[in-house]
Structure 1
């Protein structure tokens, strides 16, 4: 039996024929190469010129590796990142939105979630301050659409939800946001209402994504049924992604789930939180982690109903550790590519 073994290799030691075990990105979030890509000398030379420090290499045989859905998601997230950056830059520079590209991106994301998202996706990312908003907006959209799907939303409802999720923070970059933290929901709503092609509900999602069911949110202080379900979905996704990916914090995906669950009935309705929790895969297959015993390994199997206790295959000794059977062991860190930030 050949053990799963993904190892970090400096760029200077890469060899033609090596297979990427993780996607490679530039520091500002652009996809360089997808996971599963077999390297050529020309690719390696390009990585050296771009000052990429190294890559995770997967030595499994091609017939042991299924990378197509992951590759599709890698490419989609990178394209979405670039598109969202364009939306935000347009507002920052000229207070303008282009509805057609926004709606097209929302359609692409919904299509992917409906057909390819069964295994979840890795939500923990390296982020820089400059690119944080763009990566955050893409993650929130993916999480929101997955939650809406769990709640039985139609294709049209999912696309409307996706538009609101992609643009929920667009008001932050507007010159009309005197206090961006507090003003951005209303400024984003007013901006979207200038474009009749964008759904009214999407604009209300932007307006309400900082509200709470107990009436203590902002900017309007709505409560109960006034807090639209679609806006609650985006609010939950927004809270979760900020918690897990806040710069300078080492918080784990399953801790983010616990954080969201603690807000039931004060911030969000239980039906929305339940659907969100059922949609999130904190440690999808392929996630590299460090365990509390110091061992590093890769998630190779998940337990339905216990997503925070997956099966890990260690890299050094090829041990298969089922965390359901080792209650004193737990995931201590999600290991991301050093020197190759996701965003």
Structure 2
């Protein structure tokens, strides 16, 4: 399978990876032949990249770390939890949220088990899943990234559980933000932005008095938009006052926001997201957390076309678990000339060779 930009998709191409809707049903099955109508529909859904089957990518497999069934079940539980809390009134909110938090804890346990048993860097195919409301998918993925970072930083199981639950509930305060603001396709007004920022404070107030939920979960919600240099919100605190768990959730939150489709912005590829986050390392984000993220996630997903510093072009065939930045490639072009026979290049064994750019619009 080859990762390709929607701008380069042509009729008669064959879809390599199923696209799912928010109910866990296939929107477009792998193996489907692409038509002009399908291309138009994918563009309307703001899908930026798809996987297609090509001769060049034969034998290349793309598997998400977390299965479709686990993801769909988790997102369904997150949506249910948010909706139940949103529809609760007065003193009943705390009781309801307490019960929902216990349900979500089981999801965190399952994700921890999956990550602990996987030797591969984390692969998340966010374009393969479409949801009517971004907040639920986002909450799931922030939890997944946060747990991967925490595991890389050698937090123990109990600490990871708190971090995971804090990440899963970091946006719970958005239930108090008007839907018109959450789903606004354009830039928020100053007043709307101030209302949006209050979600961190409201999330803290919702979570801080729950009996079965550690207070640190509430602090993840409260501080995930704070930045080391004091430029964040809602309180503008600096590095020494931000809890280490919240520093993890902050990085995971931004990484997912950059790598996901939004109504007002196109997604970026993982390596592009990591480059942006690295620019803020030590200023906005904790350096150790940023480095842990870089070691935890796939930079160049399998099926990605890349151009090297020596003018060779190849496609990523598999990852190197010890260093996600340097995958194995299938080289098919040298100095602008297509090779009669491809060959494999392991970037771990070629330290002088570097990936310069990705080529998602490359088609033969």
TM-score interval, smaller chain: 0.7 to 0.9
User: Counterpart of 1:122?
Assistant: 124
Match of 2:226 in 1: 211
Correspondence for 1:198: 213
Structure 1 unmatched ranges of 5 or more: 15-19, 40-51, 336-343
Q: What's 1:44 paired with?
A: none
Number of corresponding residues: 309
Aligned counterpart, 1:73? 67
Question: What CA RMSD, in Å, does the superposition of the two structures yield over aligned residues?
Answer: 4.3
Shifted more, 228-237 versus 96-105: the winner is 96-105
**C-alpha contact (below 8 Å) 1:123/1:282 kept by paired residues:** no
The one-character-per-residue Cα deviations of 1:149-200 (angstroms, maximum 9, x if unpaired) are 1111010100100001011111112269985520111111111124211121
In structure 2, the partner of 1:319 is 342
Aligned to 2:259: 244
* Partner in structure 1 of residue 169 of structure 2: 167
Q: Which residue of 2 aligns with 1:22?
A: 17
Q: 1:262 is matched with which residue?
A: 279
TM-score of the aligned structures, taking structure 2 as reference length: 0.69
- The residue that corresponds to 1:143 in the other structure is 145
Within-5 A mapping of 1:23-42 = 23-26=18-21, 28=22, 30=24, 32=26
Q: Which has the higher contact order (CA 8 A, sep 6+)?
A: 1
Q: Which moved more, 1:86-95 or 1:149-158?
A: 86-95
The CA deviation at 1:66 is 8.1
* Alignment deviations for residues 42-77 of structure 1 (CA, whole Å, 9 cap, x no partner): xxxxxxxxxx99995699xxxx8988x748533222
Tell me whether 202-211 or 170-179 shows the greater mean CA deviation.
170-179
Task: Report how far residue 225 of structure 1 moved.
Answer: 2.0
Structure 2 unaligned segments of length 5 or more: list them: 5-9, 32-40, 43-49, 182-191, 333-337
Work out which of the residue numbers 73, 76, 79 in structure 2 matches 1:85: 79
